[in-house]
């Protein structure tokens, strides 16, 4: 796909979902926009792969429950045939002792199931779910706001602040105090205050460490959990939403929405640098040597890569160069995709019922298990007992993704550190695949005999293939030091970069990673505000 020759009002670097969302908003506002994507296909982390002939698996991301409703409505994604599938089960967490935890979309049903394990935890669950929903509703306001300019507060910042204060007041004084107390907390403490059973604590706390180089005892992991439930129906269980046809179908819909709004999209077009003159953006140069001009460049690739690789270091200056190099991107996530001859059977209670396996299956039997798995990564190793988030999307969506009777299994593996203490990822790739299958085999005996194809994607592959610095799935660690006004850096959280005309629109910008469309929509909003202010 090759675009026209311009001139353009704006160039979007990277055709990940956020780049496409941003381009669609800008084109709808009448700007002449082109998206330049390095790979042969758009979608970034919404890519698809073929672990065996006839099988199609989500290469990287598998669930999309965090997609902002506003983006879906504004860009009329349903008109482009976006169909979301929401199984009634959210989480199935098999335990080594043969028991299991099932978290349903309906908290009363979950509480009913928990009764067999612990009366106390069953009674605590509905209240905990209400608390998570209330606190996450405030986080949704935080995510929708543009962080203030702390150096020079504007009228817009003041109005944004008032809106946040109002949302905070609406929480009521009890929940208001509670959110201030819990945000910096370790998720192990957050769930430990409500629940007594390790299995329940592990299943609930896992979202607080998802994609992060943090364990459940790390400060700030409660904020990660609450952010995951912000603006969606996640509650305590979290969401489990799939795109019919796979995540790639969402990328296709966003491509149609961007093109339908008038944006041009070019693939196999790698941007080598952002061109500038007198401290202002003038366009981009491609690795092919071609140059495109535009007064606005919006980067959907990660902030570290944007600032350190695309921008002239002289333009950036030594201080900002140093600060950018300190943006934390410690990738610890790998992906294993399995093609299965038929549906596996988990040996724990309920593990033979396909409806219980239709959401997220968690190998996270307790806080200690998670913390130990994380510990290994601090010393550059992968734990012998890793934390796995597994989905079998072919249960809820059998549409053409495996041969008759077959299934695909999509496995997120933590913690697999980008920087290994010994060896390298090219040598360790198959060992990681073996470890994942061995771990699953203990919970689903016979699984290894069902595997007809396997694909292992290491953090190094994420960097090489998908352009993610150190393989970080979220373009930057979701710690408190890189949250809201600090994402990606204090003073640069408002999408605008220090070179005039350069903006960020990817997951490394506020409100962060996940398949949300939030950074893409937020960046477009600020670009359009700046254009309006100039007129
Ligand atoms: C293994 C894995 C599993 C995940 N699972 C989930 C999940 O289940 N649910 C969820 O919500 N989130 C998940 N995430 C996180 C989520 O997918 C990402 O945060 C999000 O999709 C990133 O979208 P993006 O548009 O910001 O960036 P990306 O998807 O990273 O897109 C950036 C694009 O820029 C392109 N690019 C890079 N360099 C250049 C260049 N120089 N010139 C032109 N183009 C360039 C890349 O090829 C890419 O297409 C997962 C991430 C990973 C890695």
Query: What mean pLDDT do residues 427-434 have?
Result: 97
Compute, in angstroms, the gap from residue 165 CA to the centroid of ligand 1.
Answer: 32
pLDDT at 6 > cutoff 70: no
Banded pLDDT at 59 (limits 50, 70, 90): very high
Q: Nearest 5 degrees, angle CA 22-CA 15-CA 418?
A: 115
First to last CA, the chain: 34
Q: Quick check: CB of 304 below 6 Å from ligand 1?
A: no
Give CA–CA dist 519/229, Å, rounded: 17
**Top mutation candidate among 13, 14, 291, 414 for ligand 1, by most atoms within 8 Å of CB:** 14
Which has the higher per-residue pLDDT, 382 or 155?
Answer: 382
Residue 4's pLDDT is what? Answer: 62
Q: Quick check: CB of 303 below 6 Å from ligand 1?
A: no
Query: What mean pLDDT do residues 168-189 have?
Result: 92
Taking Cα atoms as reference points, which of 101, 108, 113, 114 lies closest to residue 130?
108
pLDDT in tens, 153-168: 777 777 888 888 888 8
CB 465 within 8 A of CB 345: no
Q: Quick check: CB of 434 below 6 Å from ligand 1?
A: no
DSSP 458-478: -HHHHHHHH--GGG-TTSS--
Residue 3's pLDDT is what? Answer: 60
The minimum-distance atom of ligand 1 relative to the CA of 513 is: 19
pLDDT at 1 > cutoff 60: no
Residue 83's pLDDT is what? Answer: 94
pLDDT in tens, 208-244: 999 999 999 999 999 999 999 999 999 999 999 999 9
Residue 229's pLDDT is what? Answer: 95
Residue 294's pLDDT is what? Answer: 98
Task: Tell me the residue length of the chain.
Answer: 535
Compute, in angstroms, the gap from residue 478 CA to the centroid of ligand 1.
Answer: 15
pLDDT at 62 > cutoff 60: yes
Q: Quick check: CB of 365 below 6 Å from ligand 1?
A: no
Q: Tokens 């790998």 — which residue?
A: 334
Residue 5's pLDDT is what? Answer: 61
Tokens standing for 22?
A: 């941003």
* Summary mean pLDDT of the chain: 95
pLDDT in tens, 22-45: 999 999 999 999 999 999 999 999
Picking from 330-344, 388-402, 433-447, 481-495, which range would have the lowest pLDDT averaged per residue? 388-402
Compute, in angstroms, the gap from residue 416 CA to the centroid of ligand 1.
Answer: 18
Compute, in angstroms, the gap from residue 169 CA to the centroid of ligand 1.
Answer: 35
Query: What mean pLDDT do residues 303-311 have?
Result: 98
DSSP 43-109: BGGG-EE-SSTT--EESS----TTS-HHHHHHTTGGGGT--EE--SEEEEEE-TTS-EEEEESSHHH
Share of the chain above pLDDT 70, in %: 99
Compute, in angstroms, the gap from residue 46 CA to the centroid of ligand 1.
Answer: 7
Q: Quick check: CB of 61 below 6 Å from ligand 1?
A: yes
pLDDT in tens, 271-306: 999 999 999 999 999 999 999 999 999 999 999 999
Q: What CATH number does domain 10-46+66-82+247-328+473-534 carry, 3.50.50.60, 3.30.70.1340, 1.10.3330.10, 3.40.50.1220?
A: 3.50.50.60
Residue 163's pLDDT is what? Answer: 86
Compute, in angstroms, the gap from residue 514 CA to the centroid of ligand 1.
Answer: 8
Residue nearest atom 51 of ligand 1, based on CA coordinates: 473
């Amino acid at each position: 796909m090759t675009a026209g020759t311009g001139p353009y009002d704006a160039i979007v670097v990277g055709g990940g979902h956020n780049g496409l969302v941003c381009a669609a908003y800008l084109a709808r506002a009448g700007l002449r926009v082109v998206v330049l994507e390095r790979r042969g296909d758009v979608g970034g982390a919404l890519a698809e792969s073929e672990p065996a002939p006839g099988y199609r698996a989500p290469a990287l991301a598998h669930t999309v429950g965090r997609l902002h409703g506003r983006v879906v409505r504004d860009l009329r994604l349903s008109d482009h045939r976006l169909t979301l599938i929401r199984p009634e089960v959210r989480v199935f967490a098999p335990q080594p002792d043969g028991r299991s935890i099932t978290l349903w979309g309906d908290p009363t049903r979950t509480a009913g199931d928990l009764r067999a394990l612990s009366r106390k935890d069953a009674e605590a669950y509905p209240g905990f779910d209400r608390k998570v929903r209330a606190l996450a509703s405030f986080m949704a306001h935080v995510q929708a706001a543009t962080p203030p300019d702390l150096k020079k507060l504007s009228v817009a910042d003041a109005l944004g602040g008032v809106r946040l204060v109002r949302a905070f007041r609406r929480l009521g004084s009890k929940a208001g105090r509670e959110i201030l107390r819990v945000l910096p907390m370790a998720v192990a403490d957050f769930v430990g205050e409500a629940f007594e059973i390790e299995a329940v604590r592990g299943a609930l706390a896992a979202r607080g460490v998802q994609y992060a180089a943090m364990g459940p005892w790390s400060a700030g992991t409660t904020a990660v959990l609450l952010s995951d439930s912000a603006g969606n129906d996640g509650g305590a269980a979290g969401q489990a939403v799939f795109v019919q046809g796979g995540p790639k179908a969402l990328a296709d819909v966003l491509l149609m929405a961007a093109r339908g709004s008038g944006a041009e999209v070019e693939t196999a077009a790698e941007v080598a640098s952002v061109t500038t003159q007198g401290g202002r953006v003038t366009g981009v140069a491609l690795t092919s040597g071609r140059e495109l001009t535009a007064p606005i460049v919006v980067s959907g690739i990660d902030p570290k890569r944007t600032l350190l690789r695309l921008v002239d270091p002289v333009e950036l200056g030594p201080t900002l160069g140093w600060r950018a190099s300190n943006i934390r991107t410690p990738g610890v996530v790998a992906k294993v995709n399995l093609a299965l001859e038929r549906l596996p059977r988990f040996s724990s209670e309920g593990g033979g019922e396909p409806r219980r396996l239709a959401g997220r299956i968690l190998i996270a039997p307790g806080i200690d298990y998670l913390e130990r798995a994380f510990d290994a990564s601090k010393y550059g190793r992968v734990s012998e007992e890793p934390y796995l988030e597994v989905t079998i999307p072919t249960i809820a969506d059998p549409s053409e993704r495996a041969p008759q009777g077959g299934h695909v299994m999509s496995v997120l593996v933590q913690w697999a550190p980008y920087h290994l203490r010994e060896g390298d990822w090219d040598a360790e790739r198959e060992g990681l695949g073996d470890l994942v299958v061995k771990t699953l085999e203990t919970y689903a005996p016979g699984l290894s005999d069902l595997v007809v194809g396997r694909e292992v994607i290491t953090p190094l592959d994420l960097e090489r293939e998908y352009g993610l610095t150190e393989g970080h799935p979220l373009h930057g660690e979701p710690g408190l030091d890189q949250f809201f006004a600090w994402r990606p850096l204090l003073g640069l959280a408002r999408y605008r970069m220090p070179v005039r005309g350069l903006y960020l629109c990817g997951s490394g910008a506020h409100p962060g990673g996940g398949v949300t469309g939030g950074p893409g929509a937020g960046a477009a909003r600020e670009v359009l505000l700046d254009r309006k202010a100039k007129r």
